[in-house]
Structure 1
Amino acid sequence: MTGTEHRDLPLHVEEHGSGLPVVFTHGYGDTSSTWDAQVAALDSAYEVVVWDLRGHGRSAAPHDPSAYSRDLALADLRRVIGDRPAVILCGHSLGGYLSLAYAVEHPDAVKGLVLLATGPGFRSDDSRAKWNRILVRAARSFDVPDESIGIVEQPDSMVIDSLPGIGAPVLQIVGQDDTRYHGGVGYIERQVPDVSTLFVAGARHHPQSEQPAVVNAAIQDFLRDLATPEPE
């Protein structure tokens, strides 16, 4: 089957609460349950949407390499967002990278971005190829189809090249001990016009579950600012 034939795979999507929509996308090898603490903290004031990437959790998981790519994952995210006019995207690791890519491709559809443990990708072909080789080896330790590696491989430098054009406010959250992501976080700080960064003590690559109270407070403050109309 071709990637086009895999475009409308069944996805597991959960919608909680009502209000300003916040769409959470998990990282590679995780599921939507990684956001349980955030759903519990936010669903009384916001519409909180969580979903499983293709190949993960309760979404369809075909054993076909052509079913997995960044473009197909972005098409899935668009299906999840549906006809909501403007959303806040919150993503962890791969989910943050996909959220950045979506904001690049659909700038008017994104009101804000929350990026947890997220890198911007690589401009150099050699660096990108090295990253993709590392991912292929690491993917064997995750409970996902081997073929799903295509969803996390970076095909080009589109995201990192487009950072200066991201107009939505961005909140970065990264574990103080997740040092391999600190360089990428710093690069995003220098390139994106409206960005703030929180380093979370006592956290590595999953601050949303390692230090949920700190992460929830930061997200709530960010969302509150976005929901407050600017004075005329």
Structure 2
Amino acid sequence: MTNVTTQFITGFGGAKLAVHVAGPQDGWPLVLVHGLFSSAAVNWVKYGHAARLADAGYRVIMPDLRAHGHSAAPHDPAAYPEDVLVDDLLALIEAFGLEEGGYDLGGFSLGARTVTRAVLAGAAPRRLVLGGMGLEGLAGWAKRSAFFIDVIDRFGTIKQGDPAYYAQQFMKVQAIDPVAARLLLGSVDDTPPDELLRLTLPVLVVCGEEDMDNGSAPRLARRLPNARYVEIPGTHMSSVTQRQLSEAILAFVAE
């Protein structure tokens, strides 16, 4: 079993952010950002992805986003300015001394939104991985966010059979703070399709064959100047449990 260590860095506004690291100290850095209401432990460690990549020699760097996992979940609205997750990710890149072209960067779902906007804001990885993301998901955050805000506003009262039930239960299992989560949802920005033309680095778009939660992943890959699409088994929720996710990432970053 691969050893995972945890350290804390300082994000926007002084927030303490947990970062979990696996793999050799001198391995090629690969930063992976989890999805909404998940954590590094669930998205990357639990189903063997971190171990698979670390065993291949990569230094896998996995933050818990603010209001998730072991990171701070402040209730002050001032702690959630526009694109605060991007600010936090840029702070991580600086804290770990990651230099231009000297690391790879990836994310799943909300993590994919975050890494996309981080590159547009100046982050400079060698390669980029966008998991569980389609073209419409990057530009249409308001609709997706409204669904989760409804879950938060009705939290604890949603019954089985309601489309929001499983999101509520996942939030309970993950011990998500509803107040912090609601504030965080309001900080996430859209990325207009034309902005994607600025992403000229190599990009892997990897998505479950039954996953349309964030729109069309093949359309996203076609929109990007230098991207490929890899389909893996599963839905938005189940695709992260499939070994094919990290196998696709490994094949891409090893080129």
The answer to whether the superposition gives a TM-score over 0.5 is: yes
The CA deviation at 1:8 is: 2.1
> Which residue of structure 1 aligns with residue 218 of structure 2?
186
Q: 1:181 to 1:23 in 2, by over 3 A?
A: same
Residue pair 1:171, 1:196 contacting (<8 A) in 2 also: yes
Q: Distance in 1 between matches of 2:112 and 2:138?
A: 15
Correspondence for 2:21: 15
Moved more, 128-137 or 37-46: 128-137
Q: Which of 58, 66, 83 is equivalent to 1:71?
A: 83
Aligned partners of 2:106 and 2:129 also within 8 Å: yes
Count of residues in Structure 1 that have an aligned counterpart in Structure 2: 214
- For 1:98 and 1:132, how far apart are their aligned partners in 2? 14
Query: Residues 12-33 of structure 1: CA distance to partner in whole angstroms, max 9, x if unpaired?
Result: 1122223221001111100111
Kept in 2: contact 1:65–1:148 (CA 8 A): no
- Cα distance, 1:134–1:162 mapped onto 2, change above 3 Å: same
TM-score, scaled to structure 1: 0.82
Q: Is contact 2:64-2:71 (8 Å) kept?
A: yes
Aligned to 1:52: 64
Match of 1:118 in 2: 133
After TM superposition, the structure 1 = structure 2 runs for residues 79-158 of structure 1, keeping only pairs within 5 Å, are 79-82=91-94, 83-85=97-99, 86-106=102-122, 109-120=124-135, 121=137, 123=139, 128-139=141-152, 140=155, 141=168, 142=171, 143-146=175-178, 147-153=180-186, 156-158=189-191
Query: 1:70: how far off?
Result: 4.8
Q: What residue number does 2:36 align with?
A: 28
Between the aligned residues of both structures, percent identity stands at 27
Residue 162 (structure 2) aligns with: none
Kindly indicate which of the two structures has a greater share of residues assigned to helix: 1
Structure-2 residue corresponding to 1:222: 252
Note closer, same or farther for the CA distance 1:208–1:40 as it changes in structure 2 (3 Å cut): farther
Bigger drift between 113-122 and 9-18 goes to 113-122
What is the Cα deviation at residue 156 of structure 1? 4.6
Matched residues in 2 for 1:73 and 1:187: separation?
25
Alpha carbon RMSD of aligned pairs, Å?
A: 2.3
Which moves more between the two structures, 19-28 or 145-154? 145-154
Gaps of 5+ in 2: 1-10, 156-167
User: Does the 8 Å CA contact 2:103/2:125 hold for their aligned counterparts?
Assistant: yes
Amino acid in structure 1 at the alignment position of 2:231: F
Please state whether the residue corresponding to 1:115 is helix, strand or coil. Answer: strand
The one-letter amino acid of 2:202's match is P
Distance 1:69 1:32, change over 3 A: farther
Quick check: 1:197 aligned with 2:229? yes
Give secondary structure in 2 for the equivalent of 1:168: coil
Relative to structure 1, is the Cα distance of residues 96 and 25 closer, same or farther in structure 2, using a 3 angstrom cutoff?
same
**2:50 aligned with 1:39, yes or no?**
yes
Measured in 1, the distance between the counterparts of 2:66 and 2:82 equals 11
Question: Residues of 2 paired with 1:43 and 1:218: CA distance?
Answer: 14
Distance in 1 between residues matched to 2:242 and 2:138, nearest whole Å? 28
